[in-house]
Structure 1
Amino acid sequence: MRMKIMATSLLQTLGLGLLGPAACLATLLLGASSTSAGAAGGADAALAPPLTIIVPFTPGGDSDLSARALAPFAQKYLHASSVQVLNKPGAAGQGGVPSTKAFLEATPDGNTVLMGRGGNIAVAPALMVHAPYTPEDFTILAVLQIDPLVCAVRADSPYQKPRDVVDDIRARPGAVRYSTAGIGSVQNLSVLYFVKISGLKPDGVKAVHLASSGDATRALLDGEVELSCGSVLLMVPHIKSGRLRGLFGTSPTGRLAQLPAMPSAQEVGLRDMSKMVGWSVLVAPPKMPAPALARWRTALQKIADDPQWVNGIEQSGGLVAIKSLPRPAEFVNDQFNLYEELGINLGLRK
C-alpha cells in the first residue's frame, strides 16, 4: 500500500484555494440536502434506490454546493427515491484527501458518488510524492463545470497588458508581488505557470500567501500586491466598478461573457493559461458496472440540457462542461499531469 504523506502546509489551502465560483449555485438548492421522492419523476415512475453524493469537504464550499445543486436534478433524471448529500471532510487542513481516498472502497453500484474539485482529485495528488490515489483510480462520470480565472491588477497600476507585467518582472526580479489563497492554491499555481510560460524564473515574483481567495482579492484591492488571479465571481464586480483592471481571462472558449472587452489568454499570446481553471467533477468508485455507468451518463446528458441547472452554472460564472468534455477522464488526467509537471519543475511536491 502506498504511504500517505500529508503536507499540511500545502493541503490546508487546497480546500479553499482551489474553490471556484460554484458557491453561487446555492440559488438552485431546494433548501435541504435530501429531496423528496415526489420530485423523482412522478408517481408512476419506478423509483431507483436512494442516491448518496459524498462531499469530502465541510458544508458551504464549492464541492458541497455543486453537489446540492445537482441533487434534485440527479433525483429527477435517475428516478431515485431520495438523494442525500453527505459531507465527510475528515481532519482539518488535509484538503479532502483522506475522505476521497476512503471513497475508493465504496460499492461501485452507482448509488454512491463523490463530488470532487480539481484540488482534491488532481492537484493534491499531483503535488504529493507518495500520493494515496491518482485520477485513474476513479470512474470519472463527468466534468460538470469549468470555472475560468481572471488575472487582474489595480486600475491605477502601470500594467496595461500582460507583457508589461513580464517586462517588469524581468527588470526587477523579486519585486512584483502576487496574492494567493496559500501554497498550492489556484492563485499560487496560476501565477507561477504564467511566469513559467513567459520564460521567467519562478523566484522572479514574490508570493503573498493568505488564508482564502477572498483575502487574496482584498490584498490586490488594498495595494498590498501588484497582481492576482482569481475567480470570475471575485474579480468581475471589482473590474466593472473600476477598481481593478482585467488583463486576461483563462476561459478555454474565448472571452468571458461577463467581461466582453477583456481579452482571453489566447488573444494575448498565453494560450496555455487556458489550462488554469477550476472545475467540478462527479466520480464513482473503480470497476463500476457498465449498466450503472450508462445509467449515470444518460442522466447527466439530460441534466446538461436542463435550462434551470445550466442557468445556475452560468450565473456563477462557470461553463457547462458535461457535453463540451465528452472524454472527462482525459481532461482530468491532463490536469493531473499538468500540475505534477509544474510541481516537479517548481519544487512544490512534498
Structure 2
Amino acid sequence: MQQYATPRRKILGALPALFLAGAALVGMAPTAARAAYPERPINMIVAYAPGGGTDIIARVLAKYMEKYLGNNAAIVVQNKPGAGGAIGFGAVAAAAPDGYTIGFINTPNVLTVPIERKATFTWESFDLLGNVVDDPGNFSVHADSPYKTLGELAAYAKANPGAVSYGTTGIGSDDHLATMMFEKAAGVKMNHIPFKGAAEVHKAIASKQIVVAAMNIGEALQYAKGGTPLRNLGQMSVARTNLAPGLPTFKEQGFDIVMASLRGVAAPKGLPPAVREALVKALEKTVQDKEFQAQAASYFAPLRYLPPAQYAAELQNGDATFRALWKEMPWSDK
C-alpha cells in the first residue's frame, strides 16, 4: 500500500504554491466582474415624449456612451412622459441600483415636483452621473402672429385677460415658472395649457392651438430649422447666447427673468462603486467627444458639462431657490 501514498513532506511543500494560486484567483474575481459590465442592455429613461429636446439629445448621447462603456454596451432609450416629468423621474429612482437603469432628470421639474406635491423622489434619490445641457427659456409664437416683441404680447394680454393661451411641458416646469414670472412682471393673466413634452408644445404652436409656446431656445431653433414657422420673442438668459445672438433677452426688453433647464443623467441611489465610476467616465468622455459636440450643436443643444459633485451643488442651490419661490408664488394650478 505504501507505493500509493504521497509523502507528508511533499504535501506540506506544495501548500504555499497552492495557497498563492488560490489567492491569485480570488484577487482576479472582482476584476473580471467589473470588466463584464454591462452584461445586458441598459435602459435610459426620458421623462418626456419622443421628439423633444431631452429625447433627441438622449438618443445621440446613448450611442457615444455605448462606445465609451465598451463590452458591446447597448443603451435603449425609453420614454415615460407625464405629470411634468414625475413619472419618468420616479421610474429611475425606483429602479434597482444595478447600473441597468439610468435616465435624464430635468430642472426645475425634478426639484419643483416634490415641492408642490407628494412625490416618490427628490433630487437626492439619485446617483448623479453628470449634467449635459443647460438650455435657456424662450417665448415663441407662430410666424403669422401679430406679436413681434414681449411688450406687444404683454399689451394684448393686459387688454384681454385670459385670452392668450400658452403651452408648457408641465406644471412646475421651467416654462411654467418663467411664464408666471412674466405674468407678475407684466401685470397680466394668461391661460396655461400643460403638455407632456416639448414635442407636444411644438405641435400645438405649429397648428395654432396655442398663442405662445414657452419652450427652451435650443428646442425652438431646432423646430424652426425643421421648417416650423416660428418667431422667437426673447431668451431667458443673463446675456444673449451663441445660439441666438440676434435675439434680445427678456431683461433687455424690460422683464428681469432668467430661467433655464439643466438636463443631466442620473441613476437610482446606491450604484456599486465600480459601476458608478464606469458610467461617470463614459458620460464625461462622451461630452468631451468632438463628434458628439458637433452633433449636439446641430440640434441646438447648448452643452454645459458638470461632474457629479458640481451637479449636486447646482441642484442643492436650485432646490433652495424654488422652495423660497413656492412660499412667495405657489405655481400649482388650482
TM-score with structure 1 setting the length:
0.65
Stretch of structure 1 that moved more, 208-217 or 294-303? 208-217
Q: Which amino acid aligns with 1:179?
A: Y
Given the alignment of the two structures, is residue 250 of structure 1 paired with residue 233 of structure 2, yes or no? no
Correspondence list, 1:106-185, <5 A: 106-108=95-97, 110=99, 112-118=101-107, 121-128=110-117, 130-153=118-141, 159-169=147-157, 171-172=158-159, 174=161, 177-181=164-168, 183-184=170-171
Task: Quickly say closer, same or farther: Cα 1:108–1:337, change in 2 above 3 A.
Answer: same
The alpha-carbon deviation at position 181 of structure 1 amounts to 4.2
The alpha-carbon deviation at position 64 of structure 1 amounts to 4.8
Percentage of matched positions with identical amino acids: 20
The alpha-carbon deviation at position 134 of structure 1 amounts to 0.8
Q: 1:256–1:262: 8 Å Cα contact kept in structure 2?
A: no
Correspondence list, 1:30-45, <5 A: none
Identify which of 60, 73, 97 aligns with 2:50: 60
SS in structure 2 opposite 1:152?
Answer: strand
CA distance in 1, matches of 2:196, 2:287: 34
Q: Which amino acid aligns with 2:138?
A: V
Task: Quickly say closer, same or farther: Cα 1:82–1:348, change in 2 above 3 A.
Answer: same
The alpha-carbon deviation at position 142 of structure 1 amounts to 1.0
Task: Quickly say closer, same or farther: Cα 1:166–1:70, change in 2 above 3 A.
Answer: same
CA distance in 2, matches of 1:138, 1:108: 9
Identify which of 240, 263, 267 aligns with 2:248: 263
Q: Which amino acid aligns with 1:79?
A: G
Identify which of 184, 187, 191 aligns with 1:200: 187
**Alignment RMSD, CA only?**
4.0
SS in structure 1 opposite 2:215?
Answer: strand
SS in structure 2 opposite 1:254?
Answer: coil
The alpha-carbon deviation at position 114 of structure 1 amounts to 2.5
The alpha-carbon deviation at position 342 of structure 1 amounts to 4.8
Q: 2:284–2:307: 8 Å Cα contact kept in structure 1?
A: no
**Residues 300-324 of structure 1 deviation map (CA, whole Å, 9 limit, x = unaligned):** 3221211121122211111112159
CA distance in 2, matches of 1:176, 1:349: 17
Structure 1: runs of 5 or more not aligned:
1-45
Task: Quickly say closer, same or farther: Cα 1:236–1:77, change in 2 above 3 A.
Answer: closer
CA distance in 2, matches of 1:140, 1:96: 17
The alpha-carbon deviation at position 237 of structure 1 amounts to 5.8
The alpha-carbon deviation at position 190 of structure 1 amounts to 2.7
Task: Quickly say closer, same or farther: Cα 1:292–1:182, change in 2 above 3 A.
Answer: closer
The alpha-carbon deviation at position 180 of structure 1 amounts to 0.7
**Residues 100-130 of structure 1 deviation map (CA, whole Å, 9 limit, x = unaligned):** 43543545454542233347633433331x2
**Residues 163-207 of structure 1 deviation map (CA, whole Å, 9 limit, x = unaligned):** 4444554x53615513214751554333112223x2636xx2233
Task: Quickly say closer, same or farther: Cα 1:333–1:297, change in 2 above 3 A.
Answer: same
Task: Quickly say closer, same or farther: Cα 1:310–1:271, change in 2 above 3 A.
Answer: farther
CA distance in 2, matches of 1:246, 1:98: 30
SS in structure 2 opposite 1:247?
Answer: strand
CA distance in 2, matches of 1:248, 1:327: 29
Task: Quickly say closer, same or farther: Cα 1:341–1:230, change in 2 above 3 A.
Answer: same
Given the alignment of the two structures, is residue 346 of structure 1 paired with residue 325 of structure 2, yes or no? no
The alpha-carbon deviation at position 59 of structure 1 amounts to 7.6
Residue 19 of structure 2 corresponds to none
Identify which of 67, 76, 80 aligns with 1:76: 67
Q: 1:150–1:235: 8 Å Cα contact kept in structure 2?
A: no
Residue 288 of structure 2 corresponds to 305
Q: Which amino acid aligns with 2:60?
A: A
Task: Quickly say closer, same or farther: Cα 1:224–1:305, change in 2 above 3 A.
Answer: closer
Q: Which amino acid aligns with 2:176?
A: N
Identify which of 74, 78, 82 aligns with 1:87: 78
Q: 1:96–1:120: 8 Å Cα contact kept in structure 2?
A: yes
Q: 2:133–2:305: 8 Å Cα contact kept in structure 1?
A: yes
Pick the structure with greater CA Rg: 2
CA distance in 2, matches of 1:347, 1:237: 28
